[in-house]
């Protein structure tokens, strides 16, 4: 697979996903929490691990689309640099949140041994009135093995 | 709640990473990657015949540790890295230590190093996941 131009990757900065809404139903929180090995949290609080999928699905995108946006060579060419989750208020069951998302950083890195593109995505979870509830910043690396085009 | 720099956070034990939970999690996450539910796919990648735990599930064990230590609304920030995979049937332990204490907007915070420890086999030994957490502390 041909390597995309570095300029093409850098041009991803500022890309906005469609955005949308997400409501965590009780059944979803129940099953999600059970998978973690914990008891349900009090007061209808959603387990914080929801920050992995809620922002992505709520922004009307997918892991596959994020791979494709950075022209991933395969699912296995993706490396996780970090997940950064910030919580400003609890996320609650059966409450509808507004999700917005964008690419905040994108550049080519590496040396003669390894070349990769580093892309950072930022997802905001907000109440209906716009108050920010949580933020997820995902940084992935896209390994490149092909020749520059 | 009395907390000092250097305090260890009480361990949170996951005695068995269950493949059936990975399958439920794959459906919740809408994550079609077969490494989480198809042992034949994982074997082709050289990890043997055990499925790979989703990154967020490994992270969730550390979240559970923090909740049991400082309460269900304690997490202000988590930054996680995933240097090693967690496999089904692993016995892992969430651990952590307080590295700093500070105030932010009138709230007491404890900064912590956190990790997921595995007793190990071969190259997979020690900290499989690691990161930092900023924790809201209850009033002293």
Model confidence band, residue A2 (pLDDT cutoffs 50, 70, 90): confident
Q: What is the pLDDT of residue B28?
A: 93
Domain ranges of chain A: 6-144
The residues that bridge with B113 in the sheet, in sequence order, are B97, B132
Q: Is A83 on the interface with B (CB under 8 A)?
A: yes
CATH class of domain segment(s) A6-144: alpha beta
Pair A118, A106: CB distance under 8 Å: yes
* Distance between CA atoms of residues A30 and B62, nearest Å: 18
Residue B1 binned pLDDT confidence (cut-offs 50, 70, 90): confident
The residues near B54 (Cβ < 8 Å, ≥ 6 apart) are A52, B22, B25, B26, B29, B31, B36
Compute the average pLDDT of residues B35-62.
89
- Is A48 within 8 Å of B55 when comparing Cβ atoms? no
pLDDT, greater one: B20 or B138: B20
Distance in Å, alpha carbon of B74 to nearest chain A alpha carbon: 9
Kindly determine whether residue A35 and residue B57, on different chains, have CB atoms separated by under 8 Å: yes
ipTM: 0.93
- The answer regarding whether domain B8-17+58-136 maps to CATH 2.40.220.10 reads no
**Residues in Cβ contact with B105 at an 8 Å cutoff, skipping those fewer than 6 apart:** none
CB atoms within 10 A of CB A133: 18
Helix, strand, or coil here: A139? strand
A53 to chain B: closest CA residue: B29
Residue written as token pair 């709230």: B107
Check whether B17 has a pLDDT greater than 70. yes
**Contacts of residue A83 in chain B, CB cutoff 8 Å?**
55-56, 59, 78-80
**Is the confidence at residue B101, as pLDDT, over 90?**
yes
Quick one: pLDDT band at residue A149, thresholds 50, 70, 90? very low
Inter-residue contact B114 to B96 (CB < 8 Å):
yes
Model confidence at B33: pLDDT above 60:
yes
pLDDT band at A146 (very low <50, low <70, confident <90, very high): low
Average pLDDT score over residue span A104-131: 95
List, in sequence order, every beta strand (DSSP E) within A15-111: 20-23, 78-87, 96-110
Helix (H, G, I), strand (E, B) or coil at A66: helix
> How far is CA B66 from each of CA B10, B21, B95, B114, rounded to the nearest angstrom?
9, 21, 9, 9
pTM: 0.93
pLDDT for position B136: 97
How far is the alpha carbon of A78 from chain B, nearest alpha carbon, in Å? 12
Confidence of residue B77 (pLDDT cuts 50, 70, 90): very high
CA distance B5 to chain A (A): 22
Cα B74 from chain centre: 16
Cβ-based neighbour number of residue B27 at 10 Å: 11
In chain B, domain spans: 8-17+58-136
B63 lies within 8 A of chain A by CB: yes
Say how far residue B2 (Cα) sits from the centre of its chain. 24
């Amino acid at each position: 697979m041909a390597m995309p131009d570095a300029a093409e990757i850098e041009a991803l900065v500022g890309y906005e996903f469609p955005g949308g809404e997400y409501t965590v139903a009780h059944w979803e929180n129940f099953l999600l929490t059970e998978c973690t090995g914990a008891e349900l949290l009090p007061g209808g609080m959603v387990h914080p691990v929801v920050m992995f999928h809620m922002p992505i699905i709520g922004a009307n995108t997918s892991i596959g689309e994020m791979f494709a946006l950075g022209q991933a060579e395969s699912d296995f060419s993706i490396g996780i640099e970090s997940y950064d989750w910030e919580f400003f208020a609890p996320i609650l069951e059966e409450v509808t949140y507004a999700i917005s998302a964008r690419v905040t950083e994108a550049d080519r890195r590496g040396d003669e041994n390894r070349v990769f593109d580093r892309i950072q995505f930022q997802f905001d979870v907000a109440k209906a009135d716009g108050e920010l509830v949580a933020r997820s910043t995902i940084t992935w690396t896209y390994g490149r093995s092909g020749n520059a085009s | 709640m009395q907390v000092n720099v250097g305090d260890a956070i009480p361990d949170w034990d996951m005695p068995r990473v269950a493949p059936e939970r990975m399958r439920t999690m794959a459906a919740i996450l809408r994550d079609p990657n077969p490494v989480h539910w198809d042992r034949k796919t994982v074997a082709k990648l050289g990890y043997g015949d055990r499925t790979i735990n989703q990154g967020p599930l490994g992270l969730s064990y550390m979240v559970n540790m923090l909740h049991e230590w400082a309460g269900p609304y304690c997490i202000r920030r988590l930054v996680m890295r995933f240097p090693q995979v967690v496999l089904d049937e692993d016995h892992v332990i969430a651990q952590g230590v307080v590295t700093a204490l500070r105030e932010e907007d009138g709230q007491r915070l404890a900064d912590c190093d956190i990790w997921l420890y595995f007793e190990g086999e071969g190259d997979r030994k020690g900290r499989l996941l690691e990161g930092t957490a900023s924790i809201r502390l209850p009033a002293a």
